Structure 1
Amino acid sequence: MALFSERYGYIKPSEVIIRERISPEIQNAICSCFDRLEAAFHEYEKSTFNMEHSHYENLEKFLWTDFLNKREKSFYTKGGRYVVATSFIEGDSKWFLKLDLIEKTLKYLSASSNFAYRKIKESFIFNLNYEFERFNFAYRVIDNEIVEITSKEEIGAIENALENTSNKIKIHLKQALELYALRPIPDFRNSIKESISAVEAFCREKTGEDTLGKALNKLETFGITMPKMLKVAFDKLYAYTNQPDTGIRHALMDDEGKYTPSREEALFMLVSCSSFLNYLNAKIR
């Protein structure tokens, strides 16, 4: 059952898609990825019967001297050594500096010609991206760098559409957002359905037509003109949601049920439909 905040629409796009900040949950997840990285190095040391040499400690020393720019001698304390990565992630530093530390770690792992390092790095990246996706973090690790996959403008488009549409349309958009953010398992299929339903509700509200395809063709009668190819593009998106093998707007007709919409598809539809609604509203004004 959905939680109170989800049922009554108190979640906001900027709270669902986390950008330019690191939530406590994401912070914990990043630290867990470093814990797994340390465990992977220990497993490698055991497999090579070289328990005297700490590969993870060398990484931490590198971060201490090359990232924090501390004196190497001060890395060691009476109790052993400083814990660099997780202490920094859990500290009060700016969110972007914490991502810098991750990139510095990736560059260190990439610099080694050791085949084991490559496998360990691949596992580290996989774990990070899994956690980033799980918590709707607006960033991913691609080619050893952290890149933004959801921009401020995209989030703004959703927020603008939520603020400037009628209650009927707003209900569809809120539902699309909530289904996208659903825990523990998001419902991307129905999120896409609600996104396109918001556009359909807008067009039907303006034209009185019973389908989006008919409504798009009739919008011009009501003073809303748009380039032909833009109208065709949204007609195609509507057709995509009506395909019998997607199960988005109608019952799933594929007996094997193999098609599962991805997070990227759901976000694309949410942003695209919100932007289209903003475009139509601007045309009316």
Structure 2
Amino acid sequence: MNTFSERQGLVGSTALGPTVMPIEVRNRIWNVVQNYIDKEFQGRSNRNVAILYIWDKFFKENKNYLKKSPFSDYYLLDQIQQKFYQLAWNAVYDFLEFLISIVNSQEYVNNFIGKLNGVFIDERVQYKIIKGYVTPLISGEEAEEVDSAINNKYGIVSGHIKKALEFYKKRPVADYQNSIKESISALEALGRIVLNKPSATLGELAEQLNVHPAFKDAIKKLYGWTSDEGGIRHAEKDGKNLGVGEAEARFMLVQCSALVNYVITKYEK
């Protein structure tokens, strides 16, 4: 079974961009892991077998160095915890997938996954465990589109995408509505540059693109969703919350970034 790190190309190659795991996130993940081991492997024998298995199979350490409690025959979790806190951010996800794979009880597995996904949501971790695998909410290809849009040479455009990403990842509470607004603003700003018209709209930019009519219509509808009466911008002016969530903000961030990159490529030909 390929690990999370192998699937994401983080083993044997250089990962694209700095990625870290804040200590608060690591602490909360460990709390779930510790509770999981204590509950799933009840009884001294089961717990000892599990800890020894983790020590040997995952960490590949000498079992003779694994310490037991001075008051009982229990193996201590302390050394597992110490190793956990030394893991690279991506190896933490490998570790979680490993733990999921060694448990027979689907009920315990589902509970474990549910608790971890809850932590991921609370802490704005951009992953979700699906079918036992840690899966990015934004794929590698999508992340590249966003990164490319942020690093384009048109400062005002990249600035909007950067703000959209900041609002999307804002802690403790994300601002999805403003993230969507900034995503579409990036396209509008690019349209004004391409058309050399300070008042240009996204609809006008779509008309200038030599693409299929259905593609033009899709771009116009994106703009309409944010700018028409009842859209994101009108809701903001009226102090309303449209109830947009993570899924809508992620979709707009990725799609607007991809469109920015696409338009720049056509514009600069």
TM-score of the aligned structures, taking structure 1 as reference length: 0.71
What's 1:89 paired with? 84
What's 1:3 paired with? none
Cα separation, partners in 2 of 1:215 and 1:78, compared to 1, 3 Å: closer
2:51–2:75 contact (8 Å) kept in structure 1: no
Asked if 1:237 corresponds to 2:237, the answer is no
Cα separation, partners in 2 of 1:237 and 1:150, compared to 1, 3 Å: same
After TM superposition, give the deviation of residue 252 of structure 1 in Å.
Answer: 6.8
1:136-155 matches, within 5 Å, as 136-155=124-143
Asked if 1:274 corresponds to 2:257, the answer is yes
Asked if 1:62 corresponds to 2:53, the answer is yes
After TM superposition, give the deviation of residue 41 of structure 1 in Å.
Answer: 4.9
1:104-183 matches, within 5 Å, as 104-109=98-103, 111-112=104-105, 118-183=106-171
**Counterpart Cα distance in 2 of 1:193 and 1:206:** 20
Cα separation, partners in 2 of 1:265 and 1:85, compared to 1, 3 Å: farther
Unaligned stretches of 5+ in structure 2? 1-15
**Counterpart Cα distance in 2 of 1:72 and 1:241:** 59
Larger RCO (CA under 8 A, 6+ residues apart): 1
What's 2:26 paired with? 27
Identical residues among aligned pairs (%): 28
Unaligned stretches of 5+ in structure 1? 1-12, 46-51, 113-117
Cα separation, partners in 2 of 1:85 and 1:239, compared to 1, 3 Å: farther
Asked if 1:215 corresponds to 2:208, the answer is no
**Counterpart Cα distance in 2 of 1:233 and 1:165:** 26
User: Aligned with 1:183: secondary structure?
Assistant: coil
TM-score of the aligned structures, taking structure 2 as reference length: 0.75
**Counterpart Cα distance in 1 of 2:244 and 2:95:** 33
Asked if 1:103 corresponds to 2:88, the answer is no
Cα separation, partners in 2 of 1:54 and 1:121, compared to 1, 3 Å: farther
- CA deviation digits over 1:224-269, x for unaligned, max 9? x233332222222223324655x52212799996x52222321221
User: Aligned with 1:160: secondary structure?
Assistant: helix
**Counterpart Cα distance in 2 of 1:14 and 1:216:** 32
Cα separation, partners in 2 of 1:161 and 1:205, compared to 1, 3 Å: same
Cα separation, partners in 2 of 1:244 and 1:108, compared to 1, 3 Å: farther
1:244–1:252 contact (8 Å) kept in structure 2: no
2:149–2:257 contact (8 Å) kept in structure 1: yes
Cα separation, partners in 2 of 1:159 and 1:97, compared to 1, 3 Å: closer
After TM superposition, give the deviation of residue 273 of structure 1 in Å.
Answer: 0.8
Over the residues paired in the alignment, what is the CA RMSD in angstroms? 3.3
User: Aligned with 2:234: secondary structure?
Assistant: coil
